[in-house]
Each structure stands twice: as C-alpha cells, then as structure tokens.
Structure 1
Amino acid sequence: MSSARTRPVVRIIGGALAAVIVTGGVAAAALAPWPTTERAALGRDVSPDAARSIVACDGPLLALGRDETAAGAITEAAPGALVSGSDGATASEFALSTPDRAAVESPVALAADPAGGERSDLAAASAATLADEDLRGLAVSACSRPALESWLVGGSAATGASDLVLLTNPGDVAARVDLRVFGAQGAQDPVAGQDVVVAARAQRAIPLAALARGEESPVIRATAEGAPVRASLQTALTRTLIAGGVDQVGATAEPAAEQVIPAVDVTVPPDGAASAGGLTARLLATASDTTASVVVRDVATGAEVSRDDDIALVADRPVALEVTGMPVGVYTVSVSADAPVVAAAWTSTDLGAPADFAWSTAAPPIDAPTLVAVAGGPSPVLAVSAATDATVTLTPLSGAAPQTLPVAGGSTASVPLVAGEVYRLDPGEATVRAAVGFSAAGQLGSYAVDASATAAAQLTVYP
C-alpha cells in the first residue's frame, strides 16, 4: 500500500527534476558560445556588353526677341564650328529637330559604335563668335552625354539678361523633363518647366524668364524620365543697350561636399576704371543647410589669394560670393562643405571695352583616360587640378608627339593646347579635374572636361 502511494510522488519529483535539468541545459546552451558558420554570399562579377557612345551639342548661338512682331521668337544668331574625335569606331553625326524655332543650322549629336568589344570614347566641342548690337562675344561649349539629372549654375533672369535653357534629347525615345528653379525664395516648380516633352532626336529651348522672372542668381535642376537629356544654358547680357557678352554653359559637376573649378580667367586689373579685377562664385546647398569654405589659388604660383570660411548656406537658396581686387591671371576655385553643394564661377572682360563674360563650372573627377576636344577658340589652355601628385599625359589623336604635365598635390598646372585638336588625357594612377579655357581681347570662354564613359561599370550578380 505504501508503495502504491509513493509511486506518483516519485513520478512528480522525477518530472520536476527533468524539467529543471532541461531548463538548466537550455540556459547553459544560451550562455555558452554556439558554433558559427560564415558563408559569403555567392556572386559573380560581370561586365555589361559595350554600349554605343553618344554626345549631344548645343548648336548655334540663339537670339531671343529680335523679331519686333514676335517678342518671344527664338532665332539663330551665329553658327558654331564643331571639332570632334573618337578613340575607337568612327563617329557619325546626325541633326536634331528644333520645334521651338525654324532651324537654319540644326544642333547635332554624335554617336560611335563599340570597337573590338570595347566602348568607343567620343569627344566634341564647338565655338561661336559674333559682334552684333544685341549679342557679342565668344561662346565655347563641350558636347556631353545626356543624363537623367543635371544642375545648371549660371545665368540670370534679371533685366538685361536674355537666357535660354536648352534641353537636348539625342536618343530614340521621347523624354519628359521637369525643371526646378532655386532662387532667393527657395525651390520653385514653375508651370513652364513641368512636363516638358522633348521628342526623340530633338532640342527644346525655354526662356529662363518664363521660369524665374527677375531672379538674379538662379540654379536649375533638370530631371528627365523616359530618356536622358543634355541640359545646358545659353546666357547673354545687355547693359544699357550695349551687348555685354554671351556664353554657352554646360551642366556643372553633380552635388558633392568638395567641388573644384580648375580655371577662372581674370582679365581686368584691380585698378581698372570699369570694374575691379575679380570673380563671382555661385553656390547652392542641394540637400540641407551647411557651411562652406571657398579658397582661390593662383594657378601660376599656387599661392592662396583669397579664403572665405564659414559661409552660411541655406538649402535651396543660392549664394553669390564676390572676390575682388585680384591681379590679372588664372585662378582655381575650391569649395568644401559639410553637405553636398553645386558651384560655378563668373568673370568678365573690361566692361569699358567690347565686353564678354564666361561661366566656369565645377569639373567632375577623372580617374581613367578620356578624350578632350579643343574648340576653335583663341589661345586654348588646359588646366588640371589634383589632390595628390599626378603626372598627366596628353596625346594628340592627330599623331603629334605626346607631352606630360606634372601636377603637384593640392595645386593646378596648365599647358597650352592646339585649337581644333583632340587629345587623350591620361591621369595615370591619380584622380584629376580639368578644364579648357579660352581668352583674347573682349573674348572669354571655358568648359570642364568630362570623364570618359568607355569603361563599363562592373556588376556583381547574385543568385
């Protein structure tokens, strides 16, 4: 009897002990280090097939409001002389339609097919001059690849300016473009800049005054859907009925915390009667409020001639920084900030003589060989900036002897070029930024050198 009574008790005690043992084992296992197995994700690096290279050009200089019976009419004022070259397959040229005007000389785009399984590098640039009552000066422009987003830093919609935003689609599919204008009141989405349809193989021209009337220091962001487009700006200025210059301005380098404008040409001495020698830098914080520093250095000597620190930038509101009292020379403008910015610099010739001006945009980094087309403008000079020591090799495609350009880290070096030539610029192991400048009496022009698109980005494919 006693054994029958004690059996359930034993079972209960045994179950309790088992639970304790299991619970303790789980706790101990949780505290003890577990064996781990690390396995890298399976992936394969592949290179996409080489694509066709294509660049689009601004085309001729345009005039706005020359027709008294149609103030908004756009007409052609001067043709552009094109220089082009390809490192690979021979480039073909095709004309673009111009629905906003009757074209005498159509803008063009150039394309080159891959060669030997590799993408062909392609470069082109144009130059145009005129000396009319309402427009005069030199305009140089590098043709460039279309993009889904572009930033235009330059121009004005104030009294005396007659600027045009050019949207060029060299592709085979129509694009829809939205233009956002940043000015004194922040970001604006003007009706005239929304849902702009740019047909395949076409160029649209939109007066800047229709987007931001009265805005003195605009910055424009162009975003495209359906197909990439080339966004650029033609800017012209008239002072008291006297033509003050003209320029064609490409997109500046994409937003970044560091921007470099390799060469800004100052041609007016500080004691000039018409204006003090200097330049104006236009900056925009594209994402958030930040502070920026702007340093100006003499290209010839490397000496720092101006420094402005702790420049307060409010997001979406451009800032114009004037740097005056500078001797005649060529200068590099470096911008650093705690958040992404875009930048460009403006300078002009003596306003008391036949005048001209130029916008110099920030240059993108170049870490592989790229082609540079030299437009047929006066006294072309290549300026190359590098953060570390670099040795740049310039090889003319015409077969002339190559030349080397040493660049000390943190400085800019320059070398004269031959107008109408196309060069292969090889930065070696370094990363550089470069621009081509042109200068003569009453003439200024500049454009940045784009990085090559020949190296297709390597992709890692995962199962």
Structure 2
Amino acid sequence: MSVRLTVTRSIVGAVTAAVVAGGIGIAVVAPWPTTAREPIGLDVVPEAARSVAACDGPLLVLGRDESAPGAITEAAAAAVVSAADGPAPTETSLATPDRADTGSAPAAFTADPSGGRPTDLAAASASVLDDADLRGLSVSACTRPAMESWLVAGSAATGASDIVLLTNPGDVAATVDLRVYGADGAQDPVAGQSVVVAARTQRAVPLAALRRGEESPVVRVTAAGAPVRASLQSALTRTLIAGGVDQVSAAAPPATTQIIPAVDVTVAPDSGSSAGGMSVRLLATSADTTASVVVRSVADGAVVSQQDDIALTAEHPLELEVTGMPVGDYTVTATAAQPLVASAWTSTDISAPADFAWAVGAPAIDAPTLVTVARAPGPTLTLAAASDATVTLTPLAGGDAQTVELRAGQSRSVTVAAGQTYRVDPGSGVVHGSVGFSAAGQIGTYPVFGSAAAAAELTVYP
C-alpha cells in the first residue's frame, strides 16, 4: 500500500469521524421528533353468563331441643316467588350439612342467557311464625353470590340467637373467612376461618361461636374459590318472650355515602312501649373518620334528625340511637370522608307480640333491574334518588307502568302487589331501593339489588 493512499484514507476517516461527532452533538442539543399515540382500546361486553339467585331458605332455630342445645333446626318454611324476563328459571335445592333435621331446603335459581345477554332473574322469600321461642315476619331477596360481603346487623349478646348463613349455589367449592368487628376492633375467630362451603350447599354458623357477647357486630365475609351469598338470621328473646326475627341481606359495599331507602317506625315515641324510634349502626372499614347521619321523611322530605361530627374509629362499630321519631317511613343517609357501611334497626310495639327489622344500606341502581315482592303483608317499594331520576316501574306479568319523578335526595314510596315482580328502570338517573312490609306485630324489609343482566362494557387494551 502506498504512502499516498494511506494518508488519503486517514484524511477521509478523520473527516467522517468529525461529521459523525458533530451530528451526535447536534442530535443531543436539538429536540427529537415525538409522536403522541393514544392507546388502542376495544369496548367489549363480556360473554353472557348464566344468572344465579340464592335464597336464605326456611327460618332456623338454635337449641330448641334441650338434649342438643347447639342443634340448628327448621322453625318455619319459606314461601318463595321467582321470575325472569327470559327463559323460566330452574330451581335447585341446596344441601344443609349443619342442620340437625331434614326439613325444607333453601333454594337457588338459575336462568340461561337469551339473545346473547344474561337473563334478568329475581326471587324473594317470606316466612312467618308465632311460637313461644320465635315469632315474627322474615322477608329476604334471593341474590347473586359475591366474593366479599358485609353483614351489618345482629347481636351475640344474651337473648340473641343469630346465625350467619353462607350459601354456595355454584358448581365449585368455596373457602370462606369471617372477620368480626366489635368493641375491641377486628378479630378473626377460629370458628370463622377456612369454612368450606361445598358446591350447592348452605352452611350455618352461630354468631355467638364467632364473638360471644358482642352487642353490635359487623361481619366481613371473604370467599375464595367461588363466590357465596352471605346473610344473617337474627332472633331476639326478651325475658323468655320472643321479641322478633329477621333475615338480613348483606349491606352495600363500603363507600363514603350509604343510603338506607326506608326505615319503618311503627310506634309513637310517647307510647311508652317502643324500644326507641330507631338505631343506626355504622362502621368505618379502613380509617378513622367523621360521619354525618341525616334522617328524612319519605312522605315530604323533611329532615327529622341530623347528627354531624360523629367520630368513627376504624374497625370499631358504633351504635347511634335516634329517639323521638314519629310514626312513619324514613330515609337514612350516612356520609363520611372515608368508606363506611351502615344499617338501621327498628321494632314494633314491644308490649304486644313483637317483631323487628334490620334495614341495610342499599346498592345503587343505574340500569333496569327486576325486583320480586315477597308474599307478605302491606308491601311498598321505596325509591331514594342519588341524582335526578325518572323511574319507570313496570309489572313483569303485564299491566300499566308507573312513572316516578325524583329529585336528587328525594324519596318516594309506591304500593306494590305481594308475589309480583317489577322492572325498575331508573332511566339516566341513579336510585336506591328497598321493599318493606308491615302489619300488626310484623315488620320486614330488604334492599333492591342491581340486575345481573346489566353487564358493563370492558375496555380491552392489546
């Protein structure tokens, strides 16, 4: 290789290096071109699944047989009503391994999809009895199972004989943990850990076995493997006299606002025979907070009670007495800066054959849903509006529809027929609903749950 060629290549290499280095320097100083792209998403509706509703079943009683004080037996059968807006629902009887008898079994209903969408399914049950150790009216809605539920009701104090019901209507076994909140905070009782609920089975766990003596418990039910329907049967005896019975649905999940659409006060405050107008049970589920409880008349919307700056310690239930309530129906709204759960308790005249009812915070209804009215006396449907709403109430069996106009914060009760099923369409609004029943010495209520057919769209990103 000649010296001239070598020098030439060296010069070219140096020039090239300088150009590259300069380019890199300019690239560092100069802004790079950018491209903003929105993520590509596809809105889809999940494939329609089979609709499921599980029921509480018959009223149960603890220790009626003196030779077996811990035995759980049937006290009264349940009358169940079901309906669907598509294929007729199929009824299945569930196993009850914790019962000492072979009485009637709790029912579960299923309905297959129709036209590519889930079939809307609703059912409800009612039981009534008047025995020396147990009396009153019990009503409940049959509902879908869930992976987490909150039972905001009942007592494990002397005179109470409450039972937690865990119902698995599915084909896969579930394992359930029960956490009980009380005066000393949260506890995980041994009797409530790793409770196996086999497929198509209902388990019954006495509340006293979880936290004996607790007067104002709240129970968190967490399932793994399969969802379960959690509920509570509450029974009370006052000095050997039956004081009432109730089957209580799970309350709406923790939120900063809880709405109890209707609490029925049946006894005047000056009668001397009422147990008190009502009591409200609150639990801050995750953090200390300050709550407000407002009680409004369903009839005219007037505020009859308001308590602000209620200090709530996380995981410690609080029982709030609301006294001096005139006879009537009331909507209770509890708000706080941190999530909470809520319920309200009221009773009939305790100087006569008595009964009581727990009204729990009701979930929001933002799409058409079915509600079945149990076969029980004096039924009414109460709707409480979270936003302005025009609600259409249509009997599923046919008949004239009713239109209910509601402003945000307003409530209204509508007379409905026992044993019938209605479609509740909130239009573009959001409402909370409950079905209540009342007669001499009888009272009961359950919330309206959202439709299984209202499957939300999902946005899927690749």
Scaled to the shorter chain, the TM-score interval is: over 0.9
Q: Distance in 2 between matches of 1:211 and 1:432?
A: 35
The answer on whether the counterparts of 1:267 and 1:277 sit within 8 Å (CA) in structure 2 is no
User: Deviations for 1:138-171, whole angstroms, at most 9, x for unmatched residues?
Assistant: 0000000000000000000000000000000000
Match of 1:111?
A: 110
User: Which SS does the other structure have where 1:211 is aligned?
Assistant: helix
Superposition deviation, residue 410 in structure 1: 1.2
TM-score (norm 1): 0.94
Q: Distance in 2 between matches of 1:360 and 1:169?
A: 24
The answer on whether the counterparts of 1:153 and 1:251 sit within 8 Å (CA) in structure 2 is yes
Match of 1:168?
A: 167
Match of 2:439?
A: 440
Match of 1:204?
A: 203
User: Which SS does the other structure have where 2:340 is aligned?
Assistant: strand
Superposition deviation, residue 455 in structure 1: 2.4
Match of 2:272?
A: 273
Superposition deviation, residue 299 in structure 1: 0.5
Q: Distance in 2 between matches of 1:103 and 1:357?
A: 28
Deviates more, 1:39-48 or 1:201-210: 39-48
User: Which SS does the other structure have where 1:354 is aligned?
Assistant: coil
Alignment of 1:38-187 (within 5 A): 38-101=36-99, 102-187=101-186
Q: Distance in 1 between matches of 2:91 and 2:39?
A: 46
Q: Distance in 2 between matches of 1:355 and 1:343?
A: 24
Superposition deviation, residue 388 in structure 1: 2.3
Superposition deviation, residue 35 in structure 1: 2.2
Match of 1:410?
A: 409
Which AA in structure 1 matches 2:67? T
Alignment of 1:155-304 (within 5 A): 155-275=154-274, 277-304=276-303
Q: Distance in 2 between matches of 1:319 and 1:30?
A: 63
Instruction: State the percentage of identical aligned residues.
Output: 67
Match of 1:373?
A: 372
Q: Distance in 2 between matches of 1:114 and 1:454?
A: 9
Superposition deviation, residue 277 in structure 1: 4.6
Runs in 1 of length 4+ with deviation above 6 angstroms? Answer: none
User: Which SS does the other structure have where 1:210 is aligned?
Assistant: helix
The answer on whether the counterparts of 2:274 and 2:348 sit within 8 Å (CA) in structure 1 is no
User: Cα gap change, 1:387/1:459 in structure 2, threshold over 3 Å: closer, same or farther?
Assistant: closer
Superposition deviation, residue 29 in structure 1: 5.3
Match of 2:429?
A: 430
Superposition deviation, residue 276 in structure 1: 6.1
Which AA in structure 2 matches 1:305? V
Match of 2:7?
A: none
Superposition deviation, residue 310 in structure 1: 1.0
The answer on whether the counterparts of 2:129 and 2:136 sit within 8 Å (CA) in structure 1 is yes
Which AA in structure 1 matches 2:359? S
Match of 1:351?
A: 350
The answer on whether the counterparts of 1:285 and 1:341 sit within 8 Å (CA) in structure 2 is yes
Q: Distance in 1 between matches of 2:391 and 2:251?
A: 23
Q: Distance in 2 between matches of 1:304 and 1:42?
A: 49
Match of 1:6?
A: none
Stretches of structure 1 lacking an aligned partner (at least 5 in a row): 1-10
The answer on whether the counterparts of 1:269 and 1:277 sit within 8 Å (CA) in structure 2 is no
Q: Distance in 1 between matches of 2:124 and 2:194?
A: 29
The answer on whether the counterparts of 1:262 and 1:383 sit within 8 Å (CA) in structure 2 is yes
User: Cα gap change, 1:318/1:29 in structure 2, threshold over 3 Å: closer, same or farther?
Assistant: same
Superposition deviation, residue 43 in structure 1: 2.7
Match of 1:400?
A: 399
Which AA in structure 2 matches 1:211? L
Superposition deviation, residue 22 in structure 1: 4.4
The answer on whether the counterparts of 1:363 and 1:433 sit within 8 Å (CA) in structure 2 is yes
Superposition deviation, residue 457 in structure 1: 2.7
Superposition deviation, residue 33 in structure 1: 4.1
Which AA in structure 2 matches 1:437? G
Match of 1:7?
A: none
Which AA in structure 1 matches 2:433? A
User: Which SS does the other structure have where 2:191 is aligned?
Assistant: helix
The answer on whether the counterparts of 1:121 and 1:454 sit within 8 Å (CA) in structure 2 is yes
Deviates more, 1:381-390 or 1:257-266: 381-390
Superposition deviation, residue 403 in structure 1: 1.1
Superposition deviation, residue 401 in structure 1: 1.2
User: Which SS does the other structure have where 1:340 is aligned?
Assistant: strand
The answer on whether the counterparts of 1:296 and 1:307 sit within 8 Å (CA) in structure 2 is yes
Which AA in structure 2 matches 1:257? T
Q: Distance in 1 between matches of 2:458 and 2:427?
A: 24
Superposition deviation, residue 462 in structure 1: 2.6
The answer on whether the counterparts of 1:127 and 1:139 sit within 8 Å (CA) in structure 2 is yes
The answer on whether the counterparts of 2:279 and 2:322 sit within 8 Å (CA) in structure 1 is yes
Stretches of structure 2 lacking an aligned partner (at least 5 in a row): 1-10
The answer on whether the counterparts of 2:275 and 2:349 sit within 8 Å (CA) in structure 1 is no
Q: Distance in 2 between matches of 1:416 and 1:43?
A: 46
